[in-house]
Structure 1
Amino acid sequence: MSASAFPSIAPTIGVATSSSAAAISPQTSPLFRMNNPASIVQQPQARRYSPQHFYQNRILDPFVNQPVSPITLRQLVFFGRNMQEDKLIKSANYVRTELPIRLAHRIRDFQNLPFIVGTNPHIELVYDLYWQAFEKLSKVPEIKTLEDNDAFCELVKGLLNDHLVVIPQLALGIMECSKHIPPDQVDRFMNKMLRSRISRRVLAEQHLSLTSNFNSPNHMMTDRGYIGIIYTHCRPRDIIERTAILAAETCWQGSGGMEPPKVFLDGNIDAEFSYIPDHIEYILYELLKNSMRFVMKNGIPDARTGELPPIQITVCEGTHDIVFRISDKGGGIPPDMEAHLWSYAQSPARFANFEKISKMAATIQERMVSPSRSANLGIDDSQLSDRKDDNEGIVLPPPPATNKNSSYYGAESTTIRLDRHAPPRASKSTSSSASSSFSTASSQHHQRTVIDPSQSRTAARKPGHLDGTTHQYEDQSLHLGIGLPMSRVYAEYWGGDLKVFTMHGYGTDAYAKFCKFGNIYENFDV
């Protein structure tokens, strides 16, 4: 596919807005002024918005009336190959034009909320962030040079970082407003917001990554398989290894040291396809973490070995899809929980822990300093943001690694180091030497891989089921309650699906399906 196949750039639309670009404070926000008329009278010269800004303004109309130009993974892959200056400029102008349109639709959704919901401080904060981003992006002139593109990338990077507070603030706002809005409307609103958020971050992060790679001295090297944020050699074996060990580490920390169950992997584990690793890894991590947690809580240890029932992952490569089935014997999902599995509103109290989380990128990378781990290490949440750099939440592929035999996990560290960008291991001997301890049993008709999470740690284990004694599962982790709904949004975004079937009293099967060819357009509501 040539560069001309990339979605066409819509013409720039002039926006008549205030010349002030200062950040919005709570006292200058539109809803504050609507509810505090005295502030408008006392400071008319400082008024930035009128009530019409929220409900009757016409600034959004030209953008809301424009159609969104959706893309596919395949388009991103073909367009990103052999990047040249003219293609990079075209990508910048596409992102520059598309982001304000997508933001305008979400701002209009906020304006359609009941007034009492819109006055919630958490909802209002997100609305103001979206409006600020819309104003800044809609004013960017046409990008004509690489210098223009660099300045645009700095703006986009700053907005991405500012918007890391969106998910926690939305969750808290929904929790507090659950009595004032029907549950089905809450679910539609949240799914729209999260899908649109994914779409904007994909566009922004893909362009940032293309720019970063283009500006690097070795940007013409393509052997590492990354085109922007898309990896063209995703393999189920590697993805499950990373997510299973990280999920086991999370459960081990959250339980105070109880060993998680082993993971058995079979099927088409070496199939290759193109995908955004952040998306698929987030889904599988959430599914595996839930399975491990239920097995550790309800699983019956084997009478002979004392081991918990293992989790079975089967990978099937179909004509058009890659399907992951995750099966556990963790007692199944209770009926009252199953009824609200995908809802954001039916059990709003589950979002209460977002009060302890200031920022959330909804990627597996941030799990390296997870809430449960920080709690066990005695780290306050306010310290986490201090330990991150200015680019938190934006994970760009590094330059190609020079050591082709490097493994995914460093054996010298007791903490698992997630390095999905390391090159694939060259042989099974390399795999067996890594601290992740994959072992593969082969026969003429069957291949089965066993992940033993306990061998990836050198820390002392808490006595439990492995030494013949009993250890009651005590969940100390910090649950946010958004993992499964967010996982389904990720799965459906590129034309996939996520389904959960449970047998209460026995176990649960989860099916995650992904499009193999990347030829499905983005799935989000305009």
Structure 2
Amino acid sequence: METCFFSGRVSFSKLAHRIRDMQTLPYVVVTNPHISAVYELYYKAFESLRRVREIKTLEDNDRFCNKIGDTLKEHLTVIPKLAMGVLECRDLMKPEDMDKFMNTILRSRISRRVIGEQHLALTETFNSPWHFPDAKPPLTETEFVGEVFLRCNASEVITRIGHEVASHASLAYGPSTPLPAIKLSGHLDATFPYILSHLEYIIGELLRNSIQATVERNYKGEAVPPIEVTVCEAQQHVIIRVSDQGGGIPRDILPHLWSFSKGPRKHQRLENLNQVPKMAATLQELRATPSSDFPSPSLPTPPLHENVSVSQDSSLSSLSSRPPNLRLGMGLPLSRVYAEYWAGSLELHSLEGYGVDAFLQISKLGNKNEQLTMRASMDAV
């Protein structure tokens, strides 16, 4: 029951801080319909959690879990609404102040969702039939502690997500368009504890960007160069490098790469975001519906690792209405926020006229040498 108390108090505190942050924005920004809608969602959740009584029984916990689940689903609209509000208010605040506000509120949001989903997952584990002294849990269950997958294998995730993104690209560009192969090298047996949906989202965004850039560079009559992914394992972290030959990042985008304002292309991003009702920032939003008419030409369909339970999903729902070629301009900034939350990092180096090298550093969760300064600062806000 202490876990319930902790989850509720932490979420309550974080919501209070974010409401305060929105109240300190210029009035003309707060009255924006999108940001105002987010404010109302946060205030509603704050009032709901404020009325939660001390949890003393399993029935109390079940009611608390229902409240958490409903709140998580209701808040799936937060990211697209915030993004649209930021784009519409771009000229009403300094870009650096707006990006600081977005980074703070998104980091806090990730923290709240992690705490809430972990509590739901642990409750589900407690209620499982095998959660008894003499019962033997299935292998897939022993590989998870709540939402944390204990043996996350980088190469398996990259291969599986590469297939997903390739299928996505086939739907967007047509089955006759040649796609770049994904070549893996390095420490392919590296494993580490991580929240699978977070890693899937980051890898999915990096691979999608590389495949799109390579395809749109239009290698007419030439072999499409592969996307090279290198995995490097060190004592405290794992580094994943994604290298493509897609021509690099356009000069008008490069200064705004990590910004939520998106510079000169904000109007196109606004139009796209208007088509997105919900966003959980998970790989499900990148997945195209599998189709036998559009098989991936460069990657075989990989089987899931025997230790990965396909039912081990978060409460975050997918975006079934999102067209496969819809670009939102949120992938890289969100991916960096996710990486930094777990004491990692995400950096991109663009070689104009050639391609991009992306470096994702993943801290091994649970390692005694793990550096949690960044995450501690996020949890404190």
Q: What TM bracket, shorter-length normalisation?
A: 0.7 to 0.9
User: Paired residue for 2:282, among 363, 367, 372?
Assistant: 363
- Does 1:285 find its partner at 2:200? no
Q: Which residue of 2 aligns with 1:495?
A: 343
CA offset at residue 194 of structure 1? 0.9
Contact 2:241 2:359 in 1 (8 A): yes
Instruction: State the SS of the aligned residue for 1:356.
Output: coil
Q: Which residue of 2 aligns with 1:226?
A: 144
Distance 1:261 1:219, change over 3 A: farther
TM-score by length of 2: 0.85
> What are structure 2's unaligned runs of at least 5 residues?
310-322
Match runs of 1:143-182 below 5 Å: 143-182=55-94
Distance 1:181 1:265, change over 3 A: same
Task: Write the distance in 1 (CA, Å) between the matches of 2:174 and 2:86.
Answer: 31
Q: Which residue of 1 aligns with 2:259?
A: 343
Q: Counterpart amino acid of 1:181?
A: M
Instruction: State the SS of the aligned residue for 1:131.
Output: helix
CA offset at residue 161 of structure 1? 0.5
Instruction: State the SS of the aligned residue for 2:91.
Output: helix
- Does 1:334 find its partner at 2:250? yes
Task: Write the distance in 1 (CA, Å) between the matches of 2:304 and 2:30.
Answer: 40
Q: Which residue of 2 aligns with 1:102?
A: 14
Task: Write the distance in 2 (CA, Å) between the matches of 1:419 and 1:270.
Answer: 16
Instruction: State the SS of the aligned residue for 1:514.
Output: strand
Contact 2:286 2:324 in 1 (8 A): no
Task: Write the distance in 2 (CA, Å) between the matches of 1:208 and 1:333.
Answer: 40
Match runs of 1:406-417 below 5 Å: none
Distance 1:417 1:217, change over 3 A: farther
CA offset at residue 418 of structure 1? 9.7
- Does 1:423 find its partner at 2:307? yes
Contact 2:347 2:360 in 1 (8 A): yes
Match runs of 1:424-463 below 5 Å: none
Contact 1:92 1:207 in 2 (8 A): yes
Task: Write the distance in 2 (CA, Å) between the matches of 1:363 and 1:417.
Answer: 21
Task: Write the distance in 2 (CA, Å) between the matches of 1:310 and 1:232.
Answer: 31
Q: Which residue of 2 aligns with 1:245?
A: 163
Q: Which residue of 2 aligns with 1:323?
A: 239
Greater C-alpha Rg = 1
CA offset at residue 517 of structure 1? 3.8
Task: Write the distance in 2 (CA, Å) between the matches of 1:343 and 1:417.
Answer: 35
Task: Write the distance in 1 (CA, Å) between the matches of 2:174 and 2:232.
Answer: 35
Q: Matched residue pairs, number?
A: 347
- Does 1:307 find its partner at 2:226? no
Contact 2:249 2:355 in 1 (8 A): yes
Q: Counterpart amino acid of 2:89?
A: C
Task: Write the distance in 1 (CA, Å) between the matches of 2:14 and 2:146.
Answer: 21
Q: Which residue of 1 aligns with 2:192?
A: 273
Task: Write the distance in 2 (CA, Å) between the matches of 1:178 and 1:512.
Answer: 29
Contact 1:299 1:331 in 2 (8 A): no
Contact 2:4 2:119 in 1 (8 A): yes
Query: Which contiguous aligned blocks of 4+ residues in structure 1 show a shift greater than 4 angstroms?
Result: 413-422
Distance 1:207 1:419, change over 3 A: farther
CA offset at residue 353 of structure 1? 0.8
Q: Which residue of 1 aligns with 2:46?
A: 134
TM-score by length of 1: 0.63
| CA deviations over 1:170-192 (Å, ceiling 9, x no partner) | 11111111111110011001111
Task: Write the distance in 2 (CA, Å) between the matches of 1:507 and 1:418.
Answer: 27
Output the aligned Cα RMSD: 2.5
Contact 1:256 1:476 in 2 (8 A): no
Contact 1:332 1:505 in 2 (8 A): yes
CA offset at residue 322 of structure 1? 0.3
Task: Write the distance in 1 (CA, Å) between the matches of 2:18 and 2:70.
Answer: 20
Q: What's the % identity of the aligned pairs? A: 43
CA offset at residue 414 of structure 1? 6.6
